[in-house]
Structure 1
């Protein structure tokens, strides 16, 4: 399971994100960027964060450490913003925390070229998970200690917003023309050969087991475990076979 911590102090909102994440201190003396379950995107965005972040980690891509952070709405009592107060009131219980990277810089593709091997592996994962939110307008990449870090994956695996049509999306093509790393990703065929072989059903099952049950409850399936199985089945089918979702010109 993901490590659990308890939020002890709400520090500040991060208004760059549409879901209004916030910086929160926890009882392990760590500081986290918290994605709240009560935000407009709901718990499914937290599921996407876990699936994408943990798969990235297992594919040796740099992502902040993830934790489940328990939030008591009372920690926002000193926050004057009514929107924050309402968000915290709707987010009691388990939320998602990502290690805060102090002093990190936003990624600029002009000032910070990326090695083709790394760029290709990031683009492969984004194509596999249908992460539409790494464009040049909103890269969702940070530079920290001279290293590229991947953040904000709540928009990935968007098939789960319409389960009845998820099967038809298994081989849905991914358009990479707006992807911020596309100009550097000249080794996609190599990235596909290396990454696809590592994404097994066992690995997907392990990653989905990290998602708290309460984020998987809902009308789509009878139980959280049935929901996990549906995610694993979809993602396993997507990585198998011809992988026609790969950006055009890349051979599977």
Structure 2
């Protein structure tokens, strides 16, 4: 599977998408496609972009539907005519390499009361989010779209929250992830054991290494650690491989929460 990302240049800021706390935007790029643009200058900065990148690529490898991810260049003069000062500040702080998701035009927010998801798919999404420690796929904010009669995962920016308190990554890597109890698809997730066996076989060390190596060095110049970009990548890799090795911890937690 080709995990590489295309790189586009953002040409036009269309409108802010104020549903998210990080103020993403609908934008048009030089390939004539529209994208949901995630900014490096937003709240959690490049760490949210790393979560989005790693989470989206893990979902892709596992066969779940997620919009194409692209690296998105934002030039220094972009947005100078923007009237909204908050947005202009965000654009100025986001010059350089950002991340964008292909815009699923016509997609509607997943409504658990209107659309029934089968146990296999529900178990796959629950496993993914428990693995990634994604705290943000709840009844209040499903972060999924129903598009062309299929379920699409659109936001992984709240995943891998261990990197906001970097020193505890070893403990977080083997955590049961108790917040899975709030997952919107947990009630239907009745095939967790089968999914666990299948997904553990897919997420080999080589696959996880390839995903981690996609993180641009430009996103790894952190002020809150003395680690080099390569050392930071190694922590991400070790976190993910340990998470796979100890997947029974979060699977059992999810099964307990269902019970």
Q: CA deviation at 1:108?
A: 0.4
Which segment is superposed worse, 216-225 or 40-49?
A: 216-225
The TM-score normalised by the length of structure 1 is 0.95
Figure out how many residues of one structure are paired with residues of the other and give that number: 251
Q: Which secondary structure does the structure 2 equivalent of 1:67 belong to?
A: strand
CA RMSD of aligned residues (A): 1.5
Question: 1:97-136 counterparts in 2 under 5 A?
Answer: 97-136=100-139
Q: CA deviation at 1:249?
A: 6.3
1:27 is aligned to 30
Q: CA deviation at 1:79?
A: 2.8
User: Matches of 1:151 and 1:105 in 2, distance apart?
Assistant: 11
User: Matches of 1:169 and 1:64 in 2, distance apart?
Assistant: 28
User: Matches of 2:170 and 2:183 in 1, distance apart?
Assistant: 25
Pick one of 77, 80, 83 that aligns with 1:80.
Answer: 83
1:173 is aligned to 176
Pick one of 198, 204, 209 that aligns with 2:208.
Answer: 204
Q: CA deviation at 1:146?
A: 0.8
Q: Which secondary structure does the structure 2 equivalent of 1:76 belong to?
A: coil
User: Matches of 1:242 and 1:143 in 2, distance apart?
Assistant: 28
Pick one of 47, 63, 66 that aligns with 1:63.
Answer: 66
Residue 187 (1) aligns with residue 178 (2): no
The TM-score normalised by the length of structure 2 is 0.93
Q: Check the 8 A contact 1:171/1:243 in 2, yes or no.
A: no
* 1:10-39: CA deviation from partner (whole Å, max 9, x where unpaired): 111001110000011111111110000000
2:98 is aligned to 95
Q: Which secondary structure does the structure 2 equivalent of 1:243 belong to?
A: helix
Residue 244 (1) aligns with residue 249 (2): yes
The structure with more helix, counted as a fraction of residues: 2
Pick one of 232, 235, 238 that aligns with 2:237.
Answer: 232
Unaligned runs of 5+ in 1: none
Q: Which runs of 4+ in 1 moved over 6 A?
A: none
User: Matches of 1:74 and 1:7 in 2, distance apart?
Assistant: 11
Q: Which secondary structure does the structure 2 equivalent of 1:12 belong to?
A: strand
Unaligned runs of 5+ in 2: none
Question: 1:30-41 counterparts in 2 under 5 A?
Answer: 30-41=33-44
Pick one of 218, 223, 234 that aligns with 1:214.
Answer: 218
User: Matches of 2:72 and 2:103 in 1, distance apart?
Assistant: 13
* 1:86-129: CA deviation from partner (whole Å, max 9, x where unpaired): 10010000000100011110110010010110110000010011
User: Matches of 1:24 and 1:211 in 2, distance apart?
Assistant: 22
User: Matches of 2:254 and 2:146 in 1, distance apart?
Assistant: 30
1:47 is aligned to 50
Q: Check the 8 A contact 2:181/2:254 in 1, yes or no.
A: no
